[in-house]
């Protein structure tokens, strides 16, 4: 058997899981190469904690160089093109031929999709989360608006988690009375993806904490100098601090490789995660997978890493003749509620008939679960 080249593009949640699992399952003569433009990756689920001053950047990051000690050939480079016909990945530091390719490029943010929103705050990457933390520290009174710019976006509960944690931080600083917090989202039923109880429970929790919810509102502009946001409905709202969740798109390189469908994301076989091209797999945020109710599966790190493990097993099955694995869409997500409590959403998102997902109310137990998840991620167990 000739040596095989497994190339993984992207070292986030999905790519790191695929690389580590492939390395464990394949003999040493086979190459496992992971290419990412970055040296460090950040645990996005911990960014809301960072915004409210409960984490420092180093504690929520890991260095991709550590993969080298685990037998993975990590290459820091920009992938410029994926050539399907010649089966090569072209980077700014050379070309990488592959027998098997795993695309784990995640989502990129289009900060200009909503005019003016590039000047707004955000917390969807480390740079914006740090700036928002500084702005929140300086904030004394007024209105905070958190607005979702478009669907789909990563981790559907994150805007609400951010609102809950900001509210908690303002209470602890003794300035809550002078602050209004409002969340705007184009979704008519926020958190509908998290099971039948989640939307009502979310509304109850937001009401209890005095956080306004404006569902079905599509943001169309931000006027930073005027302190005003506009909506497709014609509504205009004033704000003192605006936080947007940017429009998400797939990476240019996967679009140019002809791998995406009309949704703008990569369609895959829901069980094997193989694209329409043999031996080319896609996992995580870069993909689109329909659930039994016709809606797309949410974009979340737990699915990306589970997908990474599944494709590594399936590549190993092809190489070694070992058994295949199926992606089930089983996963969970914590929703920070205060500095001591978190809620949780958990289930099998690709179960037949309809997603089998449950919402579990805020408790200390789920907060500890979120802390454990963070610790496991830093030790490369996730």
Residue placing its CB nearer to ligand FAD in the complex, 3 or 83? 83
Closest separation in Å from C-beta 324 to ligand FAD: 22
Closest separation in Å from C-beta 246 to ligand FAD: 10
Residue placing its CB nearer to ligand FAD in the complex, 31 or 46? 46
Closest separation in Å from C-beta 362 to ligand FAD: 14
Closest separation in Å from C-beta 139 to ligand FAD: 19
Give the count of beta carbons closer than 10 Å to the beta carbon of residue 25. 18
Residue 370, C-beta contacts closer than 8 angstroms, at least 6 positions apart: 45, 334, 336, 342
Closest separation in Å from C-beta 295 to ligand FAD: 16
Closest separation in Å from C-beta 17 to ligand FAD: 8
Residue placing its CB nearer to ligand FAD in the complex, 247 or 300? 300
- Interface residues with ligand FAD (CB under 6 A)? 10-15, 35-38, 41, 44-45, 47, 78-79, 104-106, 123-124, 154-155, 158, 251, 253, 284-286, 299-302, 304, 333-334
Find the radius of gyration of the CA atoms of the chain. Answer: 21
Residue placing its CB nearer to ligand FAD in the complex, 48 or 230? 48
Residue placing its CB nearer to ligand FAD in the complex, 26 or 155? 155
Closest separation in Å from C-beta 16 to ligand FAD: 7
Residue placing its CB nearer to ligand FAD in the complex, 31 or 122? 122
Residue placing its CB nearer to ligand FAD in the complex, 201 or 253? 253
Closest separation in Å from C-beta 224 to ligand FAD: 22
Residue placing its CB nearer to ligand FAD in the complex, 47 or 260? 47
Residue placing its CB nearer to ligand FAD in the complex, 78 or 207? 78
Residue placing its CB nearer to ligand FAD in the complex, 18 or 230? 18
How many whole angstroms from its chain centre is CA 290?
Answer: 17
Closest separation in Å from C-beta 235 to ligand FAD: 26
Beta strands 5-9 and 31-36, pairing class? parallel
Closest separation in Å from C-beta 349 to ligand FAD: 12
Residue 83: CA count within 13 A, CB half-sphere: 11
Report the residue closest to ligand FAD, judged by CB. 12
Beta strands 5-9 and 100-103, pairing class? parallel
The total number of residues written for the chain in this structure: 382
């Amino acid at each position: 058997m000739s040596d095989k080249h497994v190339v993984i593009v992207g070292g986030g949640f999905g790519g790191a899981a695929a690389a580590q699992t492939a390395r464990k399952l394949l003999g040493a003569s086979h190459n496992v190469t992971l290419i990412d433009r970055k040296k460090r990756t950040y645990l996005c689920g911990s960014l809301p904690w960072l915004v409210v001053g409960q984490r420092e950047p180093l504690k929520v990051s890991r260095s991709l160089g550590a993969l080298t000690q685990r037998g993975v050939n990590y290459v820091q480079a920009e992938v410029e093109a994926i050539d399907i016909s010649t089966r090569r990945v072209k980077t700014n530091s050379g070309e990488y031929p592959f027998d098997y390719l795993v695309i784990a490029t995640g989502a990129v943010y289009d900060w200009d999709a909503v005019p003016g929103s590039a000047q707004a705050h955000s917390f969807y990457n480390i740079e914006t989360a740090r700036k928002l933390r500084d702005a929140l520290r300086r904030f004394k009174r007024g209105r905070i608006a958190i607005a979702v710019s478009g669907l789909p976006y990563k981790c559907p509960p994150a805007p609400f988690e951010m609102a809950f944690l900001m509210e908690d931080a303002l209470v602890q600083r003794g300035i809550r009375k002078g602050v209004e917090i409002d969340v705007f989202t184009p979704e008519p039923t926020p958190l509908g993806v998290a099971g039948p109880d989640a939307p009502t429970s979310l509304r109850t929790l937001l009401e209890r904490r005095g956080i306004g919810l404006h569902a079905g509102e599509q943001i169309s502009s931000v006027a930073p100098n005027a302190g005003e946001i506009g909506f497709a409905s014609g509504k205009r709202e004033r704000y003192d601090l605006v936080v947007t969740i940017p429009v998400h798109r797939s990476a240019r390189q996967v679009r140019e490789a002809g791998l995406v469908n009309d949704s703008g994301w990569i369609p895959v076989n829901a069980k094997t995660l193989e694209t329409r091209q043999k031996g080319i797999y896609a996992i995580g945020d870069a993909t689109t997978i329909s659930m039994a109710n016709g809606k797309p599966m949410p974009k979340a790190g737990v699915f990306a890493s589970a997908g990474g493990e599944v494709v590594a097993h399936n590549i190993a099955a092809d190489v070694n003749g070992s058994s295949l694995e199926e992606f089930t869409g089983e996963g969970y997500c914590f929703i920070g509620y205060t500095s001591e409590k978190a809620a949780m959403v958990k289930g099998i998102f690709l179960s037949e008939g309809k997603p089998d997902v449950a919402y579990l109310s805020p408790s200390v137990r789920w907060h500890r679960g979120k802390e454990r998840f963070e610790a496991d991620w830093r030790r490369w167990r996730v």
